[in-house]
Amino acid sequence: MRKFFQERLPGREGVLQNRWLKPIRHWLHHPNLWHLNRRSVAGGVALGLFCGLIPGPFQMLAAAFLAMWLRVNLPVALVTTLYTNPFTIVPLYLLAHRIGLLVLGVSVQTPVADFPQLNWKDGFEPFWQWLLALGEPVLIGLPVLAIGIAFIGYFAVRFAWRLAVQWKWYQRTKRHAGRY
């Protein structure tokens, strides 16, 4: 697993030489930010999956700062946020809306309020009420979904890493058994 990640991720020295990172370069020297072990990579994946659901362009920024604070693999955390893109964000937010409805105890079969008829006399009040009705389940469902995806990602990486190590040991013992 380590070789797989080493071939695909940028190196520590290349990142530290970037002139745009000069103001925060002193935070980037911790070895866990660059070390490829099962804890650091699993933490980076979980953090990237969690931060990937942050709305707007703040996903990678949040992942970078949290990775530096939590001392997990920085490149893995940044790359993992890319699972949300224009093709996946709508289904993920619909799933978050459904999870929010379940957490709130609202029937999933209950239709979302129709878009209101806007006129100038009422102002934006009907539109604001519609937005709040739609937004509350999403605001509750997003953190629940993010925590769930991060939890699954963390343990999936730990499990896959363990399987890879066991497979290497099995291959090694099989190779050595043939010598004697």
What tens digit of pLDDT does each residue of 39-92 get? 999 999 999 999 999 877 789 999 999 998 998 998 899 999 999 988 888 788
Reported as a single tens digit per residue, the pLDDT across 132-141 is 666 788 889 9
How many residues are recorded in the chain? 180
% of the chain beyond a pLDDT of 90: 37
Segment 87-116 shows an average pLDDT of 77
The pTM score is 0.72
Our CA angle for 139, 145, 150, nearest 5°, is: 130
| First-residue to last-residue Cα distance in the chain | 29
Helix (H) or strand (E) holding 175: helix 125-177
Segment 100-104 shows an average pLDDT of 89
